[in-house]
Amino acid sequence: MSRIGKLPVTIPETVEVSASNGVIIVKGPKGELKREFPRDIKIELKENEVLVAPKGESKTARAMHGTWRALIANMVKGVLEGWSKQLELVGTGYRAEGSENNLVLAIGYSHPVEMKAPEGIKFNIQKTLITIEGIDKELVGQVAAKIRDIRPPEPYKGKGIKYIDEVVRRKPGKAAKAQGAAA
């Protein structure tokens, strides 16, 4: 049985959780999240806790046990505090402009790249730093990954869009290889 799945999810006072007909709804100060859960999972609501348990001993039920406990914990944290990811633009002349729900990137292409924020996502832009904020962890990560895929960091000069905590492994160029071989 999952060690993570056994742990109860504590519900703060400002968050309200309800589960019925295969749907769990989490409401909090930042918004509301809904998610359908599989038949193999049993969700039990106590006073200020949510307990997740597998129905039966099937392989899928045991596999989904810990996953669904983590998803519910992420939903509770999202409606309480929210989630965010930060991206950094690295490169001469690379810049980001826009508002909370529209992003325009100038990243070395012949045209500016525009991206609209899906519902529930906000962009916060400071020079070469883009912060993606929202209550759904999965959606925040997906939007950050789409932005990074526009121009991922390259290994020779490190130019591109990278996560703030990402380390780009650099490679030596042709000139550095030739000097190393001659010595």
> Which pLDDT value is given to residue 102?
93
> Is residue 74 within a helix (H) or strand (E), and if so which, with residue range?
helix 59-80
Q: Which amino acid is at 101?
A: N
Write out the E strands in the chain.
Answer: 9-10, 16-20, 23-28, 31-36, 41-45, 49-54, 83-90, 95-98, 102-106, 113-116, 121-126, 129-134, 160-163
CB 43 within 8 A of CB 72: yes
> Which pLDDT value is given to residue 59?
87
Place of tokens 């020079």: 127
DSSP state of 153: P
> Which pLDDT value is given to residue 180?
63
> Which pLDDT value is given to residue 175?
77
Structural domains in the chain plus CATH codes: 3-80 (3.90.930.12), 83-163 (3.90.930.12)
Give the chain's residues under pLDDT 70: 1, 176-178, 180-183
DSSP state of 14: T
Name which of 18, 156, 128 is nearest 76 in CA terms: 18
By the 10 Å C-beta count (0-12 exposed, 13-18 middle, 19+ buried), 36 is classed as exposed
